[in-house]
Amino acid sequence: MTESNALMNPPAPSRWLHRFAWLIAALTLLLPVTTGAVVTTLKAGMVFSDWPSSDGYNMLAYPWLSSARDQFVEHGHRLAGMVIGLLSLSLIVAAWLLDQRRSVRMVAVLIFLAVFSQGMLGGARVLMDEQTLALLHGDFAALVFSLMATLVLITSKGWDQRERLNSATESRRVSVAASLLLGCLVLQYVMGGFLRHLREREAFAWSWLVHPWFALVVLAATGMFIWSVIGTHSRYLNRFAVAMVVLTLFQSLVGLGAWYVRYGVPAWGVVAQQDSLPQIVICSLHKVIGLLTLMTSVLAVICCRSLRPLGGEPCNKEPINQDRQATVQPLGKSVAGAAT
């Protein structure tokens, strides 16, 4: 009976693993993501022609603190990537030791593989001096960070006790709206990458006009998602809806600011000053907020899919424990049979 009770009432997620996942996600945003955005804004990605060394120096031996601005930012980006790589490796060990759920361990492994692949993409971009790889390196960062945020979500205290949506109709409505919003944000994020990495190429000249105006489509999709969430009584979905409102509106304002400092307003006599501090800060911030917005949309889609009622029937908001559901149900039957 003790063994049965242990299976029927699995231990709560580890608070330490959740905190560690938060730490890695926060450091990733503050270090490699932010410095990478500044590197792209400064066009400093090829300030070193070698990798993983920097001007022939071992990564840890390079005189980083006394280097010039572009070298300082690019080498700092490399060091930050190395730190996150080591932390993501230790995350796998922590997941295996602190959490028995298969989904948690799988996401931890995916995070390490994604971080490793991101580092290889960055190295290939330098060694091949290929701007398209720089675009892939920048866009792939959104996937890496979304995986980290997913681990934060599924290791949170109330995740295993989350409530299902009331009906299949309600589930379809929010899932379609969330998926549509994610699709729009992916397109917008990729077009933003075209402007940052490939704007000099004639083949991508269309993105100069499409990217700013497509923001209106993103705002409309955000409104549809919010409308679909109203009345669901899901605290997770309501939190994501509020976050999407704040992020999309803020990102739109920062986007206008980025256009202003990057291109100026010739009709008003405003000329953009290249490599000015406002340009570096605002354009880099626009990239970072875009990544956060896309990540939030990914989590909203995951949440919508995980809240679907079983069998498409109305649900009485019973707690979910997907990883152990298959084990718990047969166990419950066997215990009832034994009692009979």
- Has residue 2 been placed in a domain? no
In Å, how far are 37, 112, 141 from 117, measured between CA atoms?
Answer: 18, 9, 10
3-state SS class at 137: helix
In terms of domains, do 134 and 201 share one? no
CATH of the domain at 286: 1.20.950
Same domain, residue pair 222 and 331: yes
**Are 107 and 147 in contact, with CB atoms under 8 Å apart?**
yes
- 116 and 169 housed in the same domain: no
Query: Is 336 a member of any domain?
Result: yes
Q: Which of 160, 176, 210 is the last residue of a domain?
A: 160
Kindly state whether residues 188 and 205 are assigned to the same domain. Answer: yes
The two structure tokens encoding residue 263: 């291109």
Range of the domain at 109: 12-160
The answer to the question of residue 324 being in a domain is yes
Cβ atoms of residues 84 and 115 within 8 Å: yes
Judgement on whether residues 83 and 23 belong to the same structural domain of the protein: yes
Query: Do 93 and 136 belong together in one domain?
Result: yes
**Quick check: is 259 in a domain?**
yes
272 in helix, strand or coil?
coil
Q: Are residues 150 and 171 in the same domain?
A: no
Looking at the structure, tell me whether residues 269 and 256 fall in a common domain: yes
Q: Is residue 5 part of a domain?
A: no
Total number of domains in the chain: 2
In a shared domain, residues 312 and 174:
yes
Note the pLDDT of residue 9: 53
Beta bridge partners of 265: 270
For CA atoms 174, 180, 183, 184, give the dihedral sign.
negative
Structure tokens, 180: 């549509």
Confidence (pLDDT) at 4 = 43
Mean pLDDT (10-residue bins), the chain, 340 residues: 44 83 97 96 95 95 95 97 97 96 96 98 96 95 97 92 87 96 97 88 82 95 96 90 96 93 78 85 96 97 89 49 45 42
pLDDT of residue 310: 64
- Chosen domain end from 112, 142, 160: 160
DSSP 14-76: PHHHHHHHHHHHHHHIIIIIHHHHHHHHHT-TTSSSSSSSBTTB-TTTS--TTS-HHHHHHHH
At 11 the three-state DSSP class reads coil
Q: Is residue 3 part of a domain?
A: no
Q: Which of 218, 235, 232 is nearest to 293 (CA)?
A: 218
* 130/166 same-domain check: no
In whole angstroms, give the CA distance from residue 141 to residue 147. Answer: 10
Are residues 174 and 127 both part of a single domain?
A: no
* Residue 267: per-residue pLDDT: 72
pTM of the model: 0.86
Instruction: State which of 141, 160, 179 marks the end of a domain.
Output: 160
**Residue 6, domain member (yes or no):** no
Tell me, yes or no, whether 201 and 182 share the same domain: yes
Within a domain: 4: no
pLDDT of residue 12: 62
Residue 333's pLDDT is what? 45
